[in-house]
Amino acid sequence: MSVFIAYNSSLHITQKKDKLLSKYNLICLLQYTEQEKDPKFWNAWAQRTLKNALTLQELNKNKAKNLILFLGDGMGVPTVTAARILKGQLNGQNGEETQLEMDKFPFVSLSKTYNTNAQVPDSAGTATAYLCGVKANEGTVGVSAAAVRSQCNTTQGNEVTSILKWAKDAGKSVGIVTTTRVNHATPSAAYAHCVDRDWYSDNEMPAEALQAGCKDIARQLFENIPNIDVIMGGGRKYMFPKNASDIEYPNILKHSGTRKDGRNLVEEWVDRMRNKNGRYVWNKTQLLTLNPNNVDYLLGLFEPGDMTYDLERNTESDPSLTEMVDVAIKILKKNPSGFYLLVEGGRIDHGHHEGKAKQALHEAVEMDRAIGRAGLLTSDHETLTIVTADHSHVFSFGGYTPRGNTIFGLAPMLSDVDQKPFTSILYGNGPGYKVINGARENVSTGNNYQAQAAVPLNAETHGGEDVAVFAKGPLAHLLHGVHEQNYIPHVMAYAACIGQNREHCMSSSGSAGLRPAFSIVATILSAARLLC
Protein backbone atom coordinates (compact mmCIF):
# COMPACT_ATOMS: atom_id res chain seq x y z
CA MET A 1 0.00 0.00 0.00
CA SER A 2 2.93 2.36 0.61
CA VAL A 3 3.94 2.04 -3.05
CA PHE A 4 0.37 2.87 -4.10
CA ILE A 5 0.31 6.03 -2.00
CA ALA A 6 3.74 7.18 -3.16
CA TYR A 7 3.13 6.73 -6.83
CA ASN A 8 -0.40 8.10 -6.76
CA SER A 9 0.60 11.39 -5.15
CA SER A 10 0.33 13.26 -8.44
CA LEU A 11 -3.07 11.71 -9.08
CA HIS A 12 -4.26 12.77 -5.62
CA ILE A 13 -3.59 16.35 -6.72
CA THR A 14 -5.82 15.71 -9.71
CA GLN A 15 -8.47 14.29 -7.39
CA LYS A 16 -8.39 17.45 -5.29
CA LYS A 17 -8.62 19.58 -8.41
CA ASP A 18 -11.64 17.62 -9.64
CA LYS A 19 -13.14 17.52 -6.12
CA LEU A 20 -13.46 13.76 -6.36
CA LEU A 21 -12.48 13.07 -2.75
CA SER A 22 -12.79 15.59 0.06
CA LYS A 23 -11.82 14.79 3.65
CA TYR A 24 -15.51 14.46 4.46
CA ASN A 25 -16.09 12.01 1.64
CA LEU A 26 -13.03 10.01 2.66
CA ILE A 27 -14.50 9.59 6.16
CA CYS A 28 -17.78 8.44 4.58
CA LEU A 29 -15.90 5.88 2.51
CA LEU A 30 -14.21 4.48 5.59
CA GLN A 31 -17.56 4.21 7.37
CA TYR A 32 -19.07 2.48 4.37
CA THR A 33 -16.20 0.00 4.35
CA GLU A 34 -16.84 -0.76 8.04
CA GLN A 35 -20.45 -1.80 7.43
CA GLU A 36 -19.33 -4.00 4.56
CA LYS A 37 -17.45 -6.14 7.08
CA ASP A 38 -20.77 -7.31 8.49
CA PRO A 39 -22.35 -10.21 6.54
CA LYS A 40 -25.79 -8.76 7.38
CA PHE A 41 -25.05 -5.83 5.08
CA TRP A 42 -24.53 -8.06 2.03
CA ASN A 43 -27.37 -10.44 2.91
CA ALA A 44 -29.84 -7.58 3.33
CA TRP A 45 -28.76 -6.00 0.04
CA ALA A 46 -29.15 -9.33 -1.79
CA GLN A 47 -32.60 -9.88 -0.24
CA ARG A 48 -33.77 -6.44 -1.40
CA THR A 49 -32.51 -7.24 -4.88
CA LEU A 50 -34.28 -10.61 -4.81
CA LYS A 51 -37.61 -9.06 -3.82
CA ASN A 52 -37.28 -6.57 -6.65
CA ALA A 53 -36.45 -9.37 -9.11
CA LEU A 54 -39.56 -11.28 -8.07
CA THR A 55 -41.74 -8.33 -9.08
CA LEU A 56 -40.44 -8.74 -12.61
CA GLN A 57 -42.33 -12.00 -12.97
CA GLU A 58 -45.27 -9.78 -13.92
CA LEU A 59 -44.09 -8.97 -17.44
CA ASN A 60 -44.94 -5.64 -19.04
CA LYS A 61 -46.92 -6.66 -22.14
CA ASN A 62 -48.33 -3.24 -22.91
CA LYS A 63 -48.15 -1.75 -26.37
CA ALA A 64 -45.21 0.66 -26.51
CA LYS A 65 -46.42 4.13 -27.35
CA ASN A 66 -42.88 5.53 -27.28
CA LEU A 67 -39.52 4.07 -28.28
CA ILE A 68 -36.12 5.41 -27.19
CA LEU A 69 -32.76 3.98 -28.24
CA PHE A 70 -29.66 5.24 -26.43
CA LEU A 71 -26.54 4.27 -28.37
CA GLY A 72 -23.20 4.66 -26.65
CA ASP A 73 -20.79 4.57 -29.57
CA GLY A 74 -17.89 2.33 -28.57
CA MET A 75 -19.39 1.71 -25.12
CA GLY A 76 -18.24 -1.85 -24.51
CA VAL A 77 -18.70 -3.60 -21.18
CA PRO A 78 -15.31 -2.43 -19.76
CA THR A 79 -16.35 1.15 -20.60
CA VAL A 80 -19.69 0.68 -18.82
CA THR A 81 -17.92 -0.62 -15.70
CA ALA A 82 -15.32 2.14 -15.70
CA ALA A 83 -18.01 4.79 -16.24
CA ARG A 84 -19.93 3.39 -13.27
CA ILE A 85 -16.86 3.78 -11.06
CA LEU A 86 -16.22 7.29 -12.38
CA LYS A 87 -19.83 8.32 -11.73
CA GLY A 88 -19.55 7.18 -8.13
CA GLN A 89 -16.19 8.87 -7.60
CA LEU A 90 -17.53 12.13 -9.00
CA ASN A 91 -20.14 11.88 -6.22
CA GLY A 92 -17.55 11.20 -3.53
CA GLN A 93 -18.05 7.44 -3.36
CA ASN A 94 -15.72 4.51 -3.89
CA GLY A 95 -17.43 4.02 -7.23
CA GLU A 96 -17.64 0.26 -7.59
CA GLU A 97 -20.96 0.03 -5.73
CA THR A 98 -22.57 2.85 -7.73
CA GLN A 99 -25.48 2.24 -10.08
CA LEU A 100 -25.61 3.78 -13.50
CA GLU A 101 -29.09 4.61 -14.76
CA MET A 102 -28.74 1.79 -17.28
CA ASP A 103 -27.80 -0.59 -14.43
CA LYS A 104 -31.32 -0.11 -13.09
CA PHE A 105 -32.93 -1.52 -16.22
CA PRO A 106 -34.48 -4.93 -15.43
CA PHE A 107 -33.47 -6.80 -18.58
CA VAL A 108 -29.96 -7.24 -19.96
CA SER A 109 -28.75 -9.23 -22.95
CA LEU A 110 -25.74 -9.41 -25.25
CA SER A 111 -25.49 -8.30 -28.86
CA LYS A 112 -23.18 -9.84 -31.47
CA THR A 113 -21.68 -6.90 -33.34
CA TYR A 114 -19.83 -8.31 -36.35
CA ASN A 115 -20.52 -6.86 -39.81
CA THR A 116 -21.26 -9.13 -42.76
CA ASN A 117 -17.67 -8.65 -43.99
CA ALA A 118 -15.88 -7.82 -40.72
CA GLN A 119 -15.20 -9.74 -37.53
CA VAL A 120 -14.44 -6.47 -35.73
CA PRO A 121 -17.08 -4.01 -36.97
CA ASP A 122 -17.35 -0.31 -37.72
CA SER A 123 -20.12 2.08 -36.68
CA ALA A 124 -21.81 2.25 -40.09
CA GLY A 125 -22.49 -1.44 -40.62
CA THR A 126 -23.58 -1.83 -37.01
CA ALA A 127 -25.93 1.17 -37.24
CA THR A 128 -27.61 -0.44 -40.23
CA ALA A 129 -28.12 -3.54 -38.07
CA TYR A 130 -29.69 -1.95 -34.97
CA LEU A 131 -31.67 0.64 -36.94
CA CYS A 132 -32.67 -1.14 -40.15
CA GLY A 133 -32.84 -4.71 -38.88
CA VAL A 134 -30.34 -6.24 -41.32
CA LYS A 135 -26.60 -6.80 -41.02
CA ALA A 136 -24.46 -5.00 -43.58
CA ASN A 137 -20.91 -4.37 -44.76
CA GLU A 138 -18.59 -2.06 -42.85
CA GLY A 139 -18.59 1.54 -44.04
CA THR A 140 -22.10 1.44 -45.52
CA VAL A 141 -25.34 2.86 -44.08
CA GLY A 142 -28.94 2.04 -44.88
CA VAL A 143 -28.09 -0.54 -47.54
CA SER A 144 -27.93 -4.32 -47.47
CA ALA A 145 -24.79 -6.45 -47.69
CA ALA A 146 -25.30 -6.60 -51.46
CA ALA A 147 -24.00 -3.02 -51.62
CA VAL A 148 -20.23 -2.55 -51.89
CA ARG A 149 -18.46 0.27 -50.06
CA SER A 150 -17.72 3.32 -52.24
CA GLN A 151 -19.33 1.76 -55.34
CA CYS A 152 -22.21 4.08 -56.13
CA ASN A 153 -23.77 1.71 -58.68
CA THR A 154 -24.44 -0.87 -55.96
CA THR A 155 -26.80 1.45 -54.07
CA GLN A 156 -29.99 1.27 -56.09
CA GLY A 157 -32.14 -1.72 -55.26
CA ASN A 158 -30.22 -2.47 -52.07
CA GLU A 159 -31.72 0.24 -49.84
CA VAL A 160 -33.15 -0.81 -46.47
CA THR A 161 -35.40 1.38 -44.32
CA SER A 162 -34.99 2.14 -40.63
CA ILE A 163 -37.19 1.95 -37.58
CA LEU A 164 -37.24 5.75 -37.57
CA LYS A 165 -39.05 5.63 -40.93
CA TRP A 166 -41.34 2.80 -39.76
CA ALA A 167 -42.32 4.98 -36.78
CA LYS A 168 -42.84 8.05 -38.96
CA ASP A 169 -44.99 6.09 -41.39
CA ALA A 170 -47.09 4.92 -38.42
CA GLY A 171 -47.85 8.51 -37.44
CA LYS A 172 -45.34 8.88 -34.64
CA SER A 173 -43.04 11.84 -34.15
CA VAL A 174 -39.35 11.00 -34.63
CA GLY A 175 -36.09 12.53 -33.50
CA ILE A 176 -32.31 12.22 -33.68
CA VAL A 177 -29.98 13.61 -31.01
CA THR A 178 -26.21 13.07 -31.18
CA THR A 179 -22.95 14.53 -29.91
CA THR A 180 -21.31 13.82 -33.29
CA ARG A 181 -22.22 15.28 -36.66
CA VAL A 182 -25.87 14.63 -37.51
CA ASN A 183 -24.60 13.04 -40.74
CA HIS A 184 -22.11 10.77 -38.97
CA ALA A 185 -22.31 6.96 -39.19
CA THR A 186 -24.79 6.26 -36.38
CA PRO A 187 -27.50 8.86 -37.11
CA SER A 188 -27.17 8.57 -40.89
CA ALA A 189 -28.37 4.96 -40.94
CA ALA A 190 -31.70 6.24 -39.62
CA TYR A 191 -32.45 8.16 -42.82
CA ALA A 192 -29.75 7.66 -45.50
CA HIS A 193 -28.91 4.98 -48.05
CA CYS A 194 -25.23 5.44 -48.77
CA VAL A 195 -22.42 3.10 -49.79
CA ASP A 196 -19.84 5.27 -48.06
CA ARG A 197 -20.20 6.67 -44.54
CA ASP A 198 -17.66 9.40 -45.35
CA TRP A 199 -19.80 11.09 -48.03
CA TYR A 200 -20.86 13.78 -45.54
CA SER A 201 -21.49 16.38 -48.27
CA ASP A 202 -20.90 16.44 -52.02
CA ASN A 203 -17.45 17.85 -51.27
CA GLU A 204 -16.35 14.46 -49.90
CA MET A 205 -17.73 12.45 -52.83
CA PRO A 206 -15.82 11.36 -55.95
CA ALA A 207 -16.98 12.97 -59.20
CA GLU A 208 -18.05 9.65 -60.69
CA ALA A 209 -20.39 8.98 -57.74
CA LEU A 210 -22.06 12.38 -58.19
CA GLN A 211 -22.38 11.83 -61.93
CA ALA A 212 -23.96 8.45 -61.28
CA GLY A 213 -26.66 10.10 -59.19
CA CYS A 214 -25.58 9.20 -55.65
CA LYS A 215 -26.51 11.75 -52.99
CA ASP A 216 -24.40 12.94 -50.07
CA ILE A 217 -25.61 12.13 -46.54
CA ALA A 218 -26.38 15.72 -45.49
CA ARG A 219 -28.69 16.12 -48.47
CA GLN A 220 -30.41 12.83 -47.69
CA LEU A 221 -31.07 14.03 -44.13
CA PHE A 222 -33.49 16.62 -45.49
CA GLU A 223 -34.81 14.82 -48.57
CA ASN A 224 -35.31 11.14 -47.72
CA ILE A 225 -37.59 11.70 -44.71
CA PRO A 226 -38.34 15.42 -45.07
CA ASN A 227 -40.30 15.84 -41.85
CA ILE A 228 -38.03 14.45 -39.13
CA ASP A 229 -39.44 16.30 -36.12
CA VAL A 230 -36.24 16.83 -34.11
CA ILE A 231 -32.63 16.85 -35.34
CA MET A 232 -29.85 17.94 -32.97
CA GLY A 233 -26.08 17.59 -32.98
CA GLY A 234 -23.09 18.93 -34.88
CA GLY A 235 -22.24 19.01 -38.58
CA ARG A 236 -23.22 22.57 -39.48
CA LYS A 237 -20.54 23.07 -42.16
CA TYR A 238 -21.90 20.28 -44.37
CA MET A 239 -25.18 22.15 -44.79
CA PHE A 240 -23.77 25.40 -46.22
CA PRO A 241 -22.16 26.44 -49.55
CA LYS A 242 -18.42 25.96 -49.89
CA ASN A 243 -16.39 28.64 -48.06
CA ALA A 244 -19.52 30.21 -46.54
CA SER A 245 -18.38 31.67 -43.21
CA ASP A 246 -19.58 29.86 -40.08
CA ILE A 247 -21.78 31.92 -37.78
CA GLU A 248 -19.87 30.91 -34.63
CA TYR A 249 -16.32 30.74 -36.03
CA PRO A 250 -16.36 33.35 -38.84
CA ASN A 251 -12.60 33.57 -39.33
CA ILE A 252 -11.68 29.90 -39.25
CA LEU A 253 -11.58 28.39 -42.73
CA LYS A 254 -11.81 24.74 -41.61
CA HIS A 255 -15.24 25.50 -40.12
CA SER A 256 -16.61 27.10 -43.30
CA GLY A 257 -19.24 25.51 -45.51
CA THR A 258 -18.28 22.56 -47.68
CA ARG A 259 -21.06 22.16 -50.26
CA LYS A 260 -20.01 22.35 -53.89
CA ASP A 261 -23.59 22.46 -55.16
CA GLY A 262 -24.07 25.89 -53.56
CA ARG A 263 -27.13 24.80 -51.62
CA ASN A 264 -27.94 26.13 -48.16
CA LEU A 265 -29.75 23.17 -46.65
CA VAL A 266 -30.51 25.00 -43.40
CA GLU A 267 -32.15 27.89 -45.22
CA GLU A 268 -34.16 25.45 -47.30
CA TRP A 269 -35.34 23.69 -44.14
CA VAL A 270 -36.29 26.97 -42.47
CA ASP A 271 -38.32 28.02 -45.53
CA ARG A 272 -40.11 24.68 -45.65
CA MET A 273 -40.96 24.78 -41.93
CA ARG A 274 -41.86 28.45 -41.75
CA ASN A 275 -45.58 27.79 -41.33
CA LYS A 276 -45.16 24.52 -39.40
CA ASN A 277 -43.83 25.84 -36.08
CA GLY A 278 -40.28 24.96 -37.10
CA ARG A 279 -37.25 26.46 -35.35
CA TYR A 280 -33.53 26.44 -36.22
CA VAL A 281 -31.03 27.03 -33.37
CA TRP A 282 -27.25 26.92 -33.19
CA ASN A 283 -26.44 27.65 -29.53
CA LYS A 284 -27.53 26.71 -26.04
CA THR A 285 -29.32 29.96 -25.25
CA GLN A 286 -31.52 29.68 -28.31
CA LEU A 287 -32.29 26.04 -27.48
CA LEU A 288 -33.17 26.50 -23.83
CA THR A 289 -35.31 29.59 -24.40
CA LEU A 290 -37.62 27.67 -26.74
CA ASN A 291 -41.06 26.78 -25.47
CA PRO A 292 -41.52 23.15 -26.56
CA ASN A 293 -45.28 23.66 -26.62
CA ASN A 294 -44.83 26.14 -29.47
CA VAL A 295 -42.31 24.07 -31.48
CA ASP A 296 -43.26 21.13 -33.68
CA TYR A 297 -40.04 20.84 -35.70
CA LEU A 298 -36.55 21.58 -34.43
CA LEU A 299 -33.20 21.67 -36.18
CA GLY A 300 -30.25 22.31 -33.86
CA LEU A 301 -26.72 22.37 -35.27
CA PHE A 302 -24.34 23.42 -32.51
CA GLU A 303 -20.91 22.93 -34.08
CA PRO A 304 -19.43 22.90 -37.61
CA GLY A 305 -18.20 19.33 -37.02
CA ASP A 306 -18.65 17.06 -34.03
CA MET A 307 -19.72 18.66 -30.77
CA THR A 308 -16.94 19.24 -28.24
CA TYR A 309 -16.09 16.73 -25.53
CA ASP A 310 -18.22 17.28 -22.44
CA LEU A 311 -15.10 18.01 -20.35
CA GLU A 312 -14.20 20.82 -22.78
CA ARG A 313 -17.72 22.03 -23.49
CA ASN A 314 -18.46 25.73 -23.20
CA THR A 315 -21.36 25.48 -20.78
CA GLU A 316 -22.55 28.96 -21.76
CA SER A 317 -22.89 28.34 -25.50
CA ASP A 318 -23.02 24.56 -26.02
CA PRO A 319 -25.86 22.36 -24.72
CA SER A 320 -25.11 19.07 -23.01
CA LEU A 321 -26.52 15.79 -24.28
CA THR A 322 -28.92 15.80 -21.32
CA GLU A 323 -30.21 19.27 -22.21
CA MET A 324 -30.74 18.26 -25.85
CA VAL A 325 -32.59 15.09 -24.83
CA ASP A 326 -34.79 17.08 -22.43
CA VAL A 327 -35.97 19.46 -25.15
CA ALA A 328 -36.32 16.68 -27.73
CA ILE A 329 -38.65 14.58 -25.57
CA LYS A 330 -40.75 17.58 -24.56
CA ILE A 331 -41.38 18.32 -28.24
CA LEU A 332 -41.87 14.73 -29.39
CA LYS A 333 -44.18 13.61 -26.57
CA LYS A 334 -46.88 16.06 -27.65
CA ASN A 335 -47.89 13.60 -30.37
CA PRO A 336 -50.77 11.46 -29.04
CA SER A 337 -49.51 8.60 -31.23
CA GLY A 338 -46.14 8.62 -29.48
CA PHE A 339 -42.58 8.95 -30.72
CA TYR A 340 -39.30 7.28 -31.66
CA LEU A 341 -36.05 8.90 -30.49
CA LEU A 342 -32.48 7.92 -31.32
CA VAL A 343 -29.90 9.33 -28.90
CA GLU A 344 -26.19 8.83 -29.53
CA GLY A 345 -23.38 9.42 -27.06
CA GLY A 346 -21.06 9.47 -30.03
CA ARG A 347 -17.86 10.85 -28.62
CA ILE A 348 -17.25 7.96 -26.24
CA ASP A 349 -15.87 6.33 -29.36
CA HIS A 350 -13.71 9.32 -30.29
CA GLY A 351 -12.14 9.48 -26.86
CA HIS A 352 -11.13 5.84 -27.09
CA HIS A 353 -9.78 6.20 -30.63
CA GLU A 354 -7.53 8.99 -29.36
CA GLY A 355 -6.45 6.93 -26.36
CA LYS A 356 -8.00 9.56 -24.09
CA ALA A 357 -9.85 7.43 -21.58
CA LYS A 358 -10.80 10.38 -19.39
CA GLN A 359 -12.66 12.04 -22.25
CA ALA A 360 -14.37 8.78 -23.23
CA LEU A 361 -15.55 7.95 -19.71
CA HIS A 362 -16.86 11.43 -18.99
CA GLU A 363 -18.84 11.18 -22.24
CA ALA A 364 -20.32 7.89 -21.00
CA VAL A 365 -21.28 9.43 -17.65
CA GLU A 366 -22.98 12.31 -19.44
CA MET A 367 -24.97 9.88 -21.57
CA ASP A 368 -26.06 8.15 -18.39
CA ARG A 369 -27.34 11.48 -17.09
CA ALA A 370 -29.36 11.83 -20.29
CA ILE A 371 -30.80 8.34 -19.74
CA GLY A 372 -31.89 9.42 -16.27
CA ARG A 373 -33.50 12.57 -17.62
CA ALA A 374 -35.41 10.61 -20.25
CA GLY A 375 -36.67 8.30 -17.52
CA LEU A 376 -38.12 11.24 -15.60
CA LEU A 377 -39.94 12.53 -18.69
CA THR A 378 -41.49 9.20 -19.70
CA SER A 379 -43.25 6.23 -18.13
CA ASP A 380 -42.05 2.63 -18.25
CA HIS A 381 -45.69 1.60 -18.70
CA GLU A 382 -45.75 2.98 -22.24
CA THR A 383 -42.12 3.66 -23.21
CA LEU A 384 -39.67 0.99 -24.31
CA THR A 385 -36.15 2.29 -23.63
CA ILE A 386 -33.05 0.44 -24.80
CA VAL A 387 -29.43 1.29 -24.07
CA THR A 388 -26.67 -0.42 -26.02
CA ALA A 389 -23.44 0.06 -27.97
CA ASP A 390 -22.56 -0.49 -31.60
CA HIS A 391 -19.20 -2.07 -30.74
CA SER A 392 -16.51 -2.14 -28.09
CA HIS A 393 -12.89 -0.91 -27.96
CA VAL A 394 -9.58 -2.47 -26.96
CA PHE A 395 -9.90 -0.63 -23.64
CA SER A 396 -9.33 -2.34 -20.30
CA PHE A 397 -8.53 -1.62 -16.69
CA GLY A 398 -6.86 -3.88 -14.15
CA GLY A 399 -3.66 -4.21 -12.16
CA TYR A 400 -5.12 -5.36 -8.82
CA THR A 401 -6.14 -1.83 -7.86
CA PRO A 402 -7.58 -1.46 -4.33
CA ARG A 403 -11.19 -0.53 -3.64
CA GLY A 404 -11.90 3.14 -4.35
CA ASN A 405 -8.76 3.63 -6.44
CA THR A 406 -9.40 6.53 -8.80
CA ILE A 407 -10.34 5.00 -12.12
CA PHE A 408 -7.63 7.07 -13.80
CA GLY A 409 -5.04 6.10 -11.17
CA LEU A 410 -2.05 3.81 -10.95
CA ALA A 411 -1.88 0.14 -10.15
CA PRO A 412 -0.61 -0.46 -6.59
CA MET A 413 2.69 -1.94 -7.72
CA LEU A 414 5.55 -1.24 -10.10
CA SER A 415 6.10 -3.40 -13.14
CA ASP A 416 8.36 -6.29 -12.16
CA VAL A 417 10.00 -6.03 -15.59
CA ASP A 418 10.89 -2.36 -16.14
CA GLN A 419 10.35 -1.17 -12.53
CA LYS A 420 8.04 1.65 -13.62
CA PRO A 421 4.52 2.49 -12.45
CA PHE A 422 1.57 1.88 -14.77
CA THR A 423 -2.00 3.07 -14.88
CA SER A 424 -4.92 0.75 -14.31
CA ILE A 425 -6.38 1.83 -17.67
CA LEU A 426 -4.55 0.51 -20.72
CA TYR A 427 -5.28 0.00 -24.43
CA GLY A 428 -4.42 -2.98 -26.59
CA ASN A 429 -3.27 -0.61 -29.32
CA GLY A 430 -3.32 3.09 -30.14
CA PRO A 431 -1.44 6.39 -29.91
CA GLY A 432 -0.47 5.83 -26.26
CA TYR A 433 2.42 3.56 -27.27
CA LYS A 434 5.54 5.62 -26.56
CA VAL A 435 9.15 4.49 -26.12
CA ILE A 436 11.84 6.86 -24.86
CA ASN A 437 15.48 5.77 -25.08
CA GLY A 438 14.33 2.22 -25.63
CA ALA A 439 12.15 2.12 -22.53
CA ARG A 440 8.47 2.58 -21.76
CA GLU A 441 7.45 6.17 -21.14
CA ASN A 442 6.57 7.16 -17.58
CA VAL A 443 2.93 7.91 -16.79
CA SER A 444 1.31 11.33 -16.35
CA THR A 445 -2.17 12.79 -15.85
CA GLY A 446 -4.61 15.24 -17.45
CA ASN A 447 -7.83 15.26 -19.43
CA ASN A 448 -6.03 14.47 -22.67
CA TYR A 449 -3.49 11.99 -21.32
CA GLN A 450 -3.17 9.09 -23.74
CA ALA A 451 -3.16 5.85 -21.81
CA GLN A 452 -0.35 3.47 -22.66
CA ALA A 453 -0.94 0.97 -25.46
CA ALA A 454 0.70 -2.33 -26.37
CA VAL A 455 0.87 -1.71 -30.14
CA PRO A 456 1.60 1.68 -31.78
CA LEU A 457 -1.22 3.03 -33.97
CA ASN A 458 -2.25 6.56 -34.85
CA ALA A 459 -5.80 5.68 -33.77
CA GLU A 460 -6.88 2.94 -31.37
CA THR A 461 -9.20 0.32 -32.84
CA HIS A 462 -12.60 -1.12 -32.09
CA GLY A 463 -12.98 -4.34 -30.14
CA GLY A 464 -14.83 -7.37 -31.44
CA GLU A 465 -16.54 -8.73 -28.32
CA ASP A 466 -20.29 -8.71 -27.65
CA VAL A 467 -21.82 -5.58 -26.13
CA ALA A 468 -24.54 -5.24 -23.51
CA VAL A 469 -28.16 -4.38 -24.27
CA PHE A 470 -30.15 -2.88 -21.36
CA ALA A 471 -33.94 -2.71 -21.71
CA LYS A 472 -36.98 -1.52 -19.78
CA GLY A 473 -40.63 -0.92 -20.60
CA PRO A 474 -43.15 -2.80 -22.74
CA LEU A 475 -41.86 -6.18 -23.99
CA ALA A 476 -38.34 -5.41 -22.77
CA HIS A 477 -38.12 -9.06 -21.70
CA LEU A 478 -37.76 -10.02 -25.38
CA LEU A 479 -34.19 -8.80 -25.10
CA HIS A 480 -32.61 -11.72 -23.28
CA GLY A 481 -29.69 -14.08 -23.81
CA VAL A 482 -27.37 -13.53 -26.77
CA HIS A 483 -28.74 -12.13 -30.03
CA GLU A 484 -27.61 -10.82 -33.37
CA GLN A 485 -27.44 -7.02 -33.33
CA ASN A 486 -30.07 -6.66 -36.06
CA TYR A 487 -32.65 -8.25 -33.70
CA ILE A 488 -32.95 -4.99 -31.72
CA PRO A 489 -35.18 -2.92 -34.07
CA HIS A 490 -37.42 -5.93 -34.67
CA VAL A 491 -38.16 -6.08 -30.93
CA MET A 492 -38.81 -2.34 -30.78
CA ALA A 493 -41.11 -2.45 -33.80
CA TYR A 494 -42.98 -5.48 -32.44
CA ALA A 495 -43.53 -3.73 -29.11
CA ALA A 496 -44.92 -0.62 -30.80
CA CYS A 497 -46.93 -2.40 -33.50
CA ILE A 498 -45.06 -0.74 -36.35
CA GLY A 499 -43.00 -2.12 -39.21
CA GLN A 500 -43.42 -5.56 -40.68
CA ASN A 501 -45.01 -7.62 -37.91
CA ARG A 502 -48.22 -6.07 -36.68
CA GLU A 503 -50.55 -9.08 -36.82
CA HIS A 504 -50.15 -9.69 -33.07
CA CYS A 505 -51.61 -6.25 -32.42
CA MET A 506 -55.05 -7.32 -33.56
CA SER A 507 -57.04 -10.16 -32.01
CA SER A 508 -59.55 -12.26 -33.97
CA SER A 509 -62.30 -9.92 -32.80
CA GLY A 510 -60.47 -6.95 -34.30
CA SER A 511 -59.45 -5.44 -30.98
CA ALA A 512 -55.86 -4.67 -30.04
CA GLY A 513 -53.90 -7.72 -28.95
CA LEU A 514 -51.39 -5.68 -26.94
CA ARG A 515 -52.81 -3.56 -24.14
CA PRO A 516 -52.34 0.21 -24.40
CA ALA A 517 -50.86 1.48 -21.15
CA PHE A 518 -53.71 3.92 -20.54
CA SER A 519 -56.24 1.04 -20.38
CA ILE A 520 -54.34 -0.47 -17.45
CA VAL A 521 -54.31 2.84 -15.63
CA ALA A 522 -58.03 3.23 -16.26
CA THR A 523 -58.69 -0.25 -14.83
CA ILE A 524 -56.75 0.58 -11.68
CA LEU A 525 -58.63 3.86 -11.22
CA SER A 526 -61.99 2.12 -11.74
CA ALA A 527 -61.12 -0.52 -9.15
CA ALA A 528 -60.09 2.20 -6.70
CA ARG A 529 -63.45 3.94 -7.10
CA LEU A 530 -65.31 0.70 -6.41
CA LEU A 531 -63.33 0.17 -3.22
CA CYS A 532 -64.04 3.68 -1.91
Confidence at residue 8, expressed as pLDDT on a 0 to 100 scale = 43
Reduced to 3 states (helix: H, G, I; strand: E, B; else coil), residue 272 is helix
467-494 burial, b for 16+ CB within 10 Å, e for fewer?
A: bbbbbbbbbbbbbeeebbbbbbbbbbbb
Residue 349 labelled as part of a binding site: yes
Residue 251 is predicted with a pLDDT of 87
Alpha helices in 413-516 (DSSP H): 487-496
Three-class DSSP category at 509: coil
Q: Is 344 annotated as a binding residue?
A: yes
DSSP 129-193: HHHHSS---TT-BSB-TTS-TT-GGGSTT-B---HHHHHHHTT-EEEEEEEEETTSHHHHTTT--
pLDDT tier, 4 (very low <50, low <70, confident <90, very high otherwise): very low
- pLDDT per position as a tens digit, 270-308: 999 999 999 999 999 999 999 999 999 999 999 999 999
Of residues 155, 175, 154, the one with CA closest to residue 163: 175
Is 232 in contact with 176 (CB distance < 8 Å)? Answer: yes
In the residue annotation, 123 being an active-site residue is answered as: yes
pLDDT-derived band at 24 (thresholds 50, 70, 90) equals very low
What's residue 1's pLDDT? 32
For residue 410, give the nearest of 61, 132, 15 by alpha carbon. 15
483 annotated as a binding-site residue = no
Opening angle at CA 338, ends 333 and 340, nearest 5:
90
CA 14 to chain CA centroid, nearest Å: 28
Q: How many CA atoms lie within 13 A of 474 on its CB side?
A: 26
The catalytic position among 109, 111, 123, 256 is 123
462 is in an annotated binding site: yes
pTM: predicted TM-score of the whole model, two decimal places: 0.91
H/E segment holding residue 290: none
Is the pLDDT at 23 greater than 50? The verdict is: no
Confidence class of residue 43 from pLDDT cuts 50, 70 and 90? Answer: very high
CA distance 392 to 394: 7
CA nearest neighbour of 191 among 142, 233, 235, 155? 142
pLDDT digits over 133-172, tens only? 999 999 999 999 999 999 999 999 999 999 999 999 999 9
Domains of the chain: 7-55 (no CATH), 66-394+463-496 (3.40.720.10), 410-456 (no CATH)
Q: What is the DSSP string of 369-428?
A: HHHHHHHHHS-TTTEEEEEEES-EESEEE-S-PPTT--TTSB-SS--TTT----BSEEEE
End-to-end CA distance of the chain: 64
Residue 34 is labelled as binding a ligand: no
Instruction: Please check if 390 is assigned to a binding site.
Output: yes
User: What length is written for the chain?
Assistant: 532
Task: Tell whether residue 391 is among the known ligand binding residues.
Answer: yes
